[in-house]
């Protein structure tokens, strides 16, 4: 159960992180309090913390065949964020997630990256469904699962806050 990379979309390339090379551009994302407002744990303090996180993503990729990956603008070759999958602990479901640099918001990149990842996940993973969990107050992020065909299932408490659970399955 492994998702082949890279995942290519019209404007984006989704690939494994290169922890050494990607730590600096991802610190611009993960170190931004506004970007990380709805992410458990909040903004990361420094590049070393980012490098550690990217190393954990690489370990997850090796262990389970999927992880969070770098989202790269194909035209500029700039790393603009992440997209990919983790495991939602309470249910064991494969969870789709995405995080983008603030200057990339409102341009459809999250939808494009999420759509590519979801299609690859549904095609390659044997899981019955893929979920997305979105903080109820994150209005922009709430639109992404709807745009890529995920269904709203319910509102649950996660990370001490109300989150909407979306799901997609092969059928």
The verdict on whether omega for the bond into residue 126 sits within 30 degrees of 0, i.e. cis, is: no
Domain ranges of the chain: 7-169
Residue 171, pLDDT > 80, answer no
Q: Confidence class of residue 152 from pLDDT cuts 50, 70 and 90? A: very high
Residue 21, pLDDT > 90, answer yes
Q: At the top level of CATH, which class does the domain 7-169 belong to?
A: alpha beta
Query: What's the CA gap between 140 and 150, in Å, rounded?
Result: 15
Mean pLDDT estimate for the chain: 97
């Amino acid at each position: 159960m492994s998702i082949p990379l890279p995942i290519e979309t019209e404007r984006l390339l989704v690939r494994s992180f290169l922890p050494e090379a990607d730590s600096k551009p991802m610190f611009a994302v993960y170190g931004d309090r506004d970007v990380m407002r709805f992410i458990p744990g909040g903004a990361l303090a420094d590049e070393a913390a980012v490098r550690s996180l990217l190393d954990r993503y690489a370990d997850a990729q090796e262990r389970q065949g999927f992880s969070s990956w770098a989202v790269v603008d194909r035209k500029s070759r700039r790393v603009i964020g992440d997209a990919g999958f983790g495991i939602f602990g309470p249910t064991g479901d494969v969870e789709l997630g995405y995080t983008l640099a603030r200057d990339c918001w409102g341009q459809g990149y999250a939808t494009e990256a999420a759509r590519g990842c979801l299609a690859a996940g549904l095609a390659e993973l044997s899981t019955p469904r893929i979920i997305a969990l979105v903080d109820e107050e994150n209005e922009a992020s709430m639109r992404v699962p709807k745009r890529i065909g995920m269904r709203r299932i319910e509102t649950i408490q996660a990370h001490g806050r109300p989150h909407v659970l979306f799901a997609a399955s092969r059928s």
